[in-house]
Amino acid sequence: MRFQMPRMTEPPKLLDRVRERIRFKHYSVRTEEVYVQWVKRFVLHHGKRHPAQMGAAEVEAFLTHLAVAGRVSAATQNQARSALLFLYKEVLGCALPWLDNVEQAKRPKRLPVVLTPDEARALMARLDGSHWLVAALLYGAGLRLMEALRLRVQDIDFKRREIVVRQGKGFKDRVTMLPEAALGRLADHLLAVRALHAQDLAEGFGEVYLPYALDRKYPGAGREWGWQYVFPSAKRSLDPRSGKMRRHHLDEQTIQRAVKRAVGEAGIVKPATPHTLRHSFATHLLQNGHDIRTVQELLGHEDVQTTMIYTHVLNRGGHGVASPLDDSR
């Protein structure tokens, strides 16, 4: 009998290790894609050297290059920094010292774009169907766009008029209101979604993605009605991680395009986006006399200083202060 040497399995490649660790930490597919791209750019920038052979100096050089030569925004540079810190801390097991020598991209101090109540109503009037419902939750409940799109049926409580936002920014849950003006349309929408889910089940599909590997702990839960997305995609698609054919939630670009079109049709000249509706939610609540701590809780801000930006929006234009031009008349 011929003796065969056992095959030596090759250690996983760097990017595969990054993906594996990201999935272990339950980060989103989008975060996985972004972090992998930044790791690639970092390695290419330093002549394809392995990150294990580099350290803080190379990370500082790369981030400084992004700010100085690349002229990237502060948000983009911070995204790259987060990806590389994740690489070294979570994948390579090497915590980098604080990167004090990085040339920081300047973060402009801008006030958020906010619609007037009339502008918000004009925008909403030019949306319909699921586009209107998603926008209604942004403007009427203060949700972020992806928070709205990732809602599950079980997150909507019609009796208590509440929405539970799962895994919001910072992986934190919170509760916000369910706008009364959206109740009827949302109930009708869910009837149509349930019929779509029943059709998927009849065709051998109907399983939705579950977070935190709950599909292994609770087999079959992904087919239950409560776990289905409130805003499912019109078509089924292949899950890039599991390889299963599933119905994901609506693509955010669908809502972004719909809002952009509605802004143009309404004749609004402000550079409004879906996130503008969330800004408008906070500002209009404060205008109506609601406590800033309440608004902070509804928005899911960790620090009230973040919510304070909307008080600056309220003060813009010198409300209560007479212009000297008016006094000179």
Q: pLDDT by residue (tens digit) across 192-219?
A: 999 999 999 999 999 998 876 676 777 8
Give yes or no: 41 in active site.
no
The topology (CATH level 3) of 117-312 is hpI Integrase; Chain A (1.10.443)
- Strand order in 174-177's β-sheet? 156-157, 162-165, 174-177
Dump the DSSP string for 2-48: ---PPPPPPPPPHHHHHHHHHHHTT--HHHHHHHHHHHHHHHHHTTT
Could you tell me which CATH class the domain 14-91 is placed in? mainly alpha
Q: Determine contact, residues 286/280, Cβ cutoff 8 Å.
A: no
Give yes or no: 89 in active site.
no
- Residue 173 is given by DSSP the state -
Structure confidence at residue 327 (pLDDT): 59
Give yes or no: 319 in active site.
no
Catalytic residue among 144, 152, 197, 248: 144
Catalytic residue among 19, 81, 247, 278: 278
Which stretches of the chain score pLDDT less than 50? 1
Listed by start position, the domains of the chain span: 14-91, 117-312
Q: Determine contact, residues 87/227, Cβ cutoff 8 Å.
A: no
Residue 149's contacts (CB-CB under 8 Å, 6 or more residues apart) are 134, 229, 231, 249, 250, 252, 255
How many residues make up the chain in this entry? 329
Give yes or no: 229 in active site.
no
What are 141-164's pLDDT values in tens digits?
Answer: 999 999 999 999 999 999 999 999
Give yes or no: 310 in active site.
yes
Structure confidence at residue 313 (pLDDT): 76
Coil, strand or helix at 216: helix
Give yes or no: 144 in active site.
yes
Structure confidence at residue 314 (pLDDT): 74
Catalytic residue among 40, 46, 169, 223: 169
Catalytic residue among 275, 284, 290, 329: 275
- Residue 167 is given by DSSP the state S
* pTM above threshold 0.85: no
Tokens representing residue 258 in the block: 């719909």
- Residue 90 is given by DSSP the state I
Structure confidence at residue 14 (pLDDT): 92
